Each structure stands twice: as structure tokens, then as C-alpha cells.
Chain A
Amino acid sequence: MSQELPKPQPADVIFVYSKGKDAFLNVALQKWIFDKERDHGPWFSHVALALNDRLGLEASTAPSDTDEPTWSGVELKEGVRLILLPDLLIPSRDWRVLRNAKASELAKDALEIKQPYIFRGL
């Protein structure tokens, strides 16, 4: 029997707690300063948006020299960028994904790359 795979949908909001010092400090700042009233987990260092079942959109700083290569091997850029969902999730230490029940009612092309609000930042 073949391995069952994740079932991403457009507009899934993917929260991750990444590995590495950037993520650690990011979460530390949230815990100690910005969300110090928040007395529960989970904590996330990053959030991205699924555009389809393969690609996500995220805003990120430039990859550093010490970053591990992505799972897929593609080289990521900085700023607002596309990311393959496995490149986002496989190296993460934890993740949670939220979905709006109305997301399935979105226009089919609402999150396609041809939309100015998607490609403008890329």
C-alpha cells in the first residue's frame, strides 16, 4: 500500500516552529515580550500560506550561510517568496495548520500566482 500523503488546500494557514537559533530567538521574544500575557502554547516562529497543494507563500529573511539546504534542493530567495510545502514542513520541529471552512468557496484562481497581490512581492 502506498504511503498516504498530506492533503493541503489553498488558504491553509501553516504555523511552524522551525529549527535553528533564529526560530528560538523569535519564539523567545514572543514569550518574553510581545505575547507575554499568553500563558499557553503552542508557540510558532513562522507562518505561511498554502497557495495550492504544493506551494506556499511566505515572507522570510534571506537564508544564511549556515542554513541547511532545503529538502528539495531548490535555493530560496529572500523577502516574499514561494516555498514548497515539504521544504517548509519537513525540517520543522512542530507545525499546526488552520483552515477556514469558507476557503473551499474561494474563487478557483483566488490564490493563483497571476493575482497581483501574490506575484507583486515575489
Chain B
Amino acid sequence: MRSSSHIFSGVYESKYSIEAFQEYAANSASLIAGVSDIFGFGDDWTSAPNDVAAKVGQDFRNRVLRDFPDHEFSFESRNFYCSKLVIAILGVVGLLPDRDVDARVTPSALFDELKGMGWDDVTDGSYPEDQVQGWDATSKVPWQTDYFDGVGQAQFWSNHEAFDELWRIVEKQFAHADRRIQAYLDLLDDLRNGPQKADPRLRAERWSSKKPFR
């Protein structure tokens, strides 16, 4: 299995293709834009993220970024669209080669692409219509149980990672405080040794580089 970082960093920055659809429609095809309006599609076409970055709250994010402007949250806000999500996951597990994650691919085009790469169409053998409709005759309770079990697992792992995220910030705060205290101690040493012995340039540097806690 390959590292997901470069793939997902790209996906994080991507926008849901429907946004691009809308932009394209607005700029290039007034008819389509009109149809889009008639059908009632608004700004909520985007597949909004439902992740830690979205949950931690803007106040908290602002506070962290004020103290640590370079802090990068593990879960930066991002949007997916259906085929990009599938492409990203298949790439991570190694079933698709590395590719430009920003390249826009529609579901229909992805179908052609996978077929062209030799993927088997297993619809007739594994998903024929009569069998799919056969699901309708099964009890829904085990399905519901599986669904909520899956959602619960996702929540557990998500919370676990959220805790790690927050702990990384706490550790940064500790390190920040430690440096501040050390700067004060150094200054006290300087004063104890006599102001005439303290190097004024060093003192100035220490003070300027150690802003008070915020």
C-alpha cells in the first residue's frame, strides 16, 4: 500500500466538480445555467466536508493559528466529488496508478477509463437485477445494524485522530511555554550576574524573539 499523503493533499485542495459545473455553466453556457436554475440547484451542490477541521470550530482554529500560524491541521477542509473520491481511494490501495488528482473525471468517463484498463464488468455475474431486487425481500434490521456499526467505527477512529490532533497542539503549547520560561530564566541569570555583564545585544534578541504568552 502506498502513502496516501500526496494523493490526499491534492484532494484536500480540490473542489467538488459540481462547483466547476456551475462555474462552467455560468461562464460558458447560459442555457445550462438556466436549466440549472430551473432545476433548483444552488450553492449546496458541494459535498461539504464532515471532518474534524469542520467540527473543531472557527474560534478554536483561529486561536491555534494565532499562536502557531504555520500549524497545519491534519484535516484541512476539503471537498470531494464522487469519482474523485473513488479515484483517490483506488490510488491509495494501489488499484490505480498515480495520476493528477486535480484532473476532472466524470463518472461516465471513469467507467470508460477503468474498462480501458482491463477492469472486468461483473454486473451480470455479481449484481444482476433480479438479485439486487432480491435484497428487497431480506430483513432490513441486519442492514441497519451494519450501517450504524460502520458509522460508529468511523466516529471512533475519527475521534481518536481528533484527540491526536489536539494533543499535538497541546504539545506545541508546552514547548512554547518552555521556551518562554527558559528565556526568563536566562534573563534572570543575566541580571544576577550584573547588568553590566549582560550582553545588551543578546538580551534584546532574547526579548524580541520571545513574545509574551497570548
Contacts and interface: CB of A to CB of B under 8 A. Distances in A.
Interface string A1-28: 0011111110111110000011001111
- The residue in A21, A59, A62 that gathers the most chain B C-beta atoms within 10 A of its C-beta is A59
B137 to A, nearest CB: 6
B213 interface: no
Nearest to B40: A21
Given A84-B147, A113-B154, A9 B126 contact: yes
Contact of B115 (A46, A90, A98): A98
Contacts of B122: 12, 97-99
Interface of A: 3-9, 11-15, 21-22, 25-30, 32-35, 38, 42-49, 51, 54-55, 57-62, 71-74, 77-82, 84-86, 89-90, 95-103, 106-107, 110-111, 113-114, 116-122
B47 A46 contact: no
Interface in B52-101: 75, 80-86, 88-90, 92-95
Contact of A116 (B49, B110, B111, B161): B161
Contacts of B184: none
Given A47-B83, A49-B86, A61-B47, A30 B146 contact: no
B93 A74 contact: no
Contact of A25 (B1, B29, B39, B109): B39
B47 A79 contact: yes
B200 interface: no
Given A22-B41, A58-B82, A59-B85, 18 more contacts: A6-B127, A11-B93, A13-B119, A25-B41, A30-B106, A78-B47, A78-B48, A84-B146, A90-B132, A95-B132, A97-B122, A98-B115, A100-B114, A100-B119, A116-B157, A117-B92, A118-B154, A122-B151
Contacts of A43: 108
Nearest to A3: B134
A18 to B, nearest CB: 10
Given A49-B85, A77-B50, A79-B47, A6 B115 contact: no
B208 interface: no
B49 A79 contact: yes
